[in-house]
Chain A
């Protein structure tokens, strides 16, 4: 039985997984940094170390993400839309809509019953429509991303951002702090702003239930809850949501070329 690898080089983080028998056996996440090629190498080295095999034991590697071209050892490339769809289909075969909240953009994908991509939409490359909006405001509030969600959840009256731009939002947050507005209300405000941008993207594509969410943004519980409220549906969250595209890539790596779904992007 062979080992397969999926590597997802994103703009913020690089993710890699090794699968065996279509099951995830190891994963590794690092900050992408300035050199994607080195990041890809690091991922591979760490992954094979974790499962105690050599690079030659990996039967096939598929690369995805905006930096996929830098994964020199990959046997093939696949689009992040297809990889995310395959990854979600593995974890939640019932999912018909997937929201992928990444650092630079948000993607919404519709899946058929067989898990094949039927339609998708990608947000503009605008920080206010991606996880970056929260990163920017977290930085202003001087709190870590991991504490952000809990802080936002404590708010009773989230502020309304008057702007749809992360740069202007940053200034607005600074003004609000100087006015003495509690941090949690600002945190909840940006969560609400992003959730509503994401929800309108989902509505544009028409929501089909069940809906799943992945990408780094899915780690933010407050964001997921707010999206659930906005969409009026329960949203499925995988255990390690940021690994979904890498998992999908590994599954594609293990799929013989002839039996892969034809609908690619």
Chain B
């Protein structure tokens, strides 16, 4: 008996497979990218290959993330908020607050006994999401993945005066040409984003333990800036990208087991690795 969680984020697609005891068999990540329509099945195919499984072996598949609606082979869609909460609590049973910073939004979640109790999120303005760092990294001619390391060398933080990502993009280039050090600018960018996320989290109220997830949690400079902005310790999973997919796989197992115990037949979708189509259900 095997279960799968598929998390289609705006930047990365994640697939995670577990067996019936919840052991992780494989996790595969691929960039969602411009070819996102084809990626859900491609990432699933790789994950199955790694686990030496066939798609028909999977008992139940839960899809989550912004692209969850149209994963053709998923049996059920669950919001990323519930999946993140579940995934985070399975890794950190004492977690009460989870902050997930992705490429398209930032979510702050309160968790109690593995369940989501309340949340606030920003998906309105890029300046409060990982996109802020993506865009400014490109403007500075550095890799997003290198930002953390670069910022740790900073001797001071340069304050970024523009809130809007589009204008900040111009500002950082102007700062560079004015002779400011790259590491100080990058530290300033981290600080700007961290203070906005901290303000969002404070609206919800912060309770320890606090867990930071999402692609941005892989950025060591950002974790440091978040600690400073929030004034508390932060736990980061070894693999901060997969908590959504992990939660989805755990929920897949729970849903399946509950139905099995009640003797109900769960409807499942045909196990075909077809191309996912986006937006069609949501927008037509």
Contacts and interface: CB of A to CB of B under 8 A. Distances in A.
A167 B279 contact: no
Contacts of A125: 162-164, 167
Given A34-B174, A163-B124, A165-B126, A132 B166 contact: yes
B164 A127 contact: yes
A171 to B, nearest CB: 8
A51 B23 CA distance: 81
A166 B34 contact: no
Contacts of A124: 163-164
Contacts of A164: 124-125
Contacts of B167: 104, 125, 127, 132
A231 interface: no
Given A167-B131, A167-B135, A175-B279, A126 B163 contact: yes
A166 B164 contact: yes
B64 interface: no
Nearest to B36: A175
A165 B162 contact: no
A123 to B, nearest CB: 11
Interface in B1-41: 10, 34
A104 B174 CA distance: 16
B177 interface: yes
Contact of B177 (A34, A136, A165, A171): A34
**Which residue among B124, B131, B162, B166 has the maximum number of chain A CB atoms within 10 Å of its CB?**
B166
A104 B127 CA distance: 16
B283 to A, nearest CB: 9
B124 A165 contact: yes
Contacts of B97: none
A58 interface: no
Interface in A155-177: 163-168, 171, 174-175
A178 interface: yes
Interface string B164-178: 111100100010010
Interface in A137-153: none
Interface string B121-139: 0001111000100010000
Given A104-B167, A167-B131, A168-B104, A179 B279 contact: yes
Interface string B198-216: 0000000000000000000
A250 to B, nearest CB: 28
B63 to A, nearest CB: 19
Interface in B87-114: 104
Contacts of A167: 126, 131, 135, 165-166
A34 B162 CA distance: 17
Contacts of B163: 124-126
Contacts of A168: 104, 126, 131
Contact of A174 (B34, B162, B177, B278): B34
Nearest to B126: A167
A136 B166 CA distance: 9
Contacts of B104: 168
A59 B66 CA distance: 62
Contacts of B34: 174, 178
Nearest to B122: A165
A127 B166 CA distance: 6
Contacts of A11: 170
A127 B125 CA distance: 10
Contacts of B131: 167-168
Contacts of B126: 165-168
Interface in A110-142: 124-127, 132, 136
A11 B34 CA distance: 32
Contacts of B174: 34
Contacts of A174: 34
A167 B166 CA distance: 7
Interface of A: 11, 34, 104, 124-127, 132, 136, 163-168, 171, 174-175, 178-179
Interface of B: 10, 34, 104, 124-127, 131, 135, 162-167, 170, 174, 177, 278-279
20 contacts: A34-B177, A124-B163, A125-B162, A125-B167, A126-B125, A126-B163, A126-B164, A127-B166, A127-B167, A132-B166, A163-B124, A164-B124, A165-B126, A165-B127, A166-B164, A166-B165, A167-B131, A167-B135, A168-B126, A178-B34
Closest 5 CB pairs of A and B: A167-B126, A127-B166, A167-B165, A126-B164, A165-B125
Given A124-B163, A178-B34, 4 more contacts: A125-B167, A127-B164, A171-B10, A179-B279
